[in-house]
Structure 1
Amino acid sequence: MKLFRILCIPTFLYFAYLQLNDPDPYLWFPIYAFVAVIALAGFYRQVPPFVGWILIPVYLVLAGYYYMQAPYFGMEVEEVREYLGLLIASAALAVLVFKK
């Protein structure tokens, strides 16, 4: 579990950094940065489960929205990449918050 946290911090900080040149970084930067912050906070204290109960459904609803907006499923479609990024972030959050 410690290794997963160690891997999540730079990975999601890098994902957040890549969003800075996106047309809407105010949305995407915090989405990925929250995962890195939660991974870092898990080293110092247990993250309360309500964090997962709030963020994971929000991320999944956003993922569903972007999936429905995609004209077709292909990696060249921005909505598909956003959908997959949200799924990755919500899966990482689930492991970080609910796995002991």
Structure 2
Amino acid sequence: MKLFRILCIPIFLYFAYLQLNDPDPYLWFPLYAAVSAIALAGLFRKVPRFVGWILIPIYLVLSGYYFSQTPYFGMEVEEVREFLGLLIASAAIAFLVFKK
């Protein structure tokens, strides 16, 4: 589990960095940086479960919203990529917070 935390830190920081040239980085940068911050905090102390109970539903609701906005399912559609990114982030938060 420690290896997963160590891998999540640079991966999600890189995801956050890539969002800086997006038209709405104020939304996407914090979403990905939060996962990295949770992974970093988890290296030093136990992350409270309420963090997962708060963030995961937010990520999943946003994911559902972007999925509902897709004209069709293809990787060239931005909403599909945003939907998948939010699913990956919510799964990572679930593993970081609820897995021992």
TM range (shorter): over 0.9
Partner of 1:98: 98
Partner of 1:54: 54
The runs of 5 or more residues in structure 1 that have no matched partner are none
Q: Return the TM-score normalized by structure 2.
A: 1.00
1:74 and 1:12 map into 2 onto residues whose CA distance is 23
Q: Return the TM-score normalized by structure 1.
A: 1.00
Which structure 2 residues correspond to residues 22-61 of structure 1 after superposition, within 5 A? 22-61=22-61
The runs of 5 or more residues in structure 2 that have no matched partner are none
Deviating beyond 3 angstroms after TM superposition, the runs of 4 or more aligned structure 1 residues are none
One-letter amino acid of the structure 1 residue matched with residue 39 of structure 2: A
For this pair of structures, how many residues does the alignment match?
Answer: 100
One-letter amino acid of the structure 1 residue matched with residue 95 of structure 2: V
**C-alpha displacement at 1:13, in angstroms?**
0.1
Identity %: 83
- C-alpha RMSD of the superposition: 0.3
One-letter amino acid of the structure 2 residue matched with residue 47 of structure 1: V
1:2 and 1:39 map into 2 onto residues whose CA distance is 9
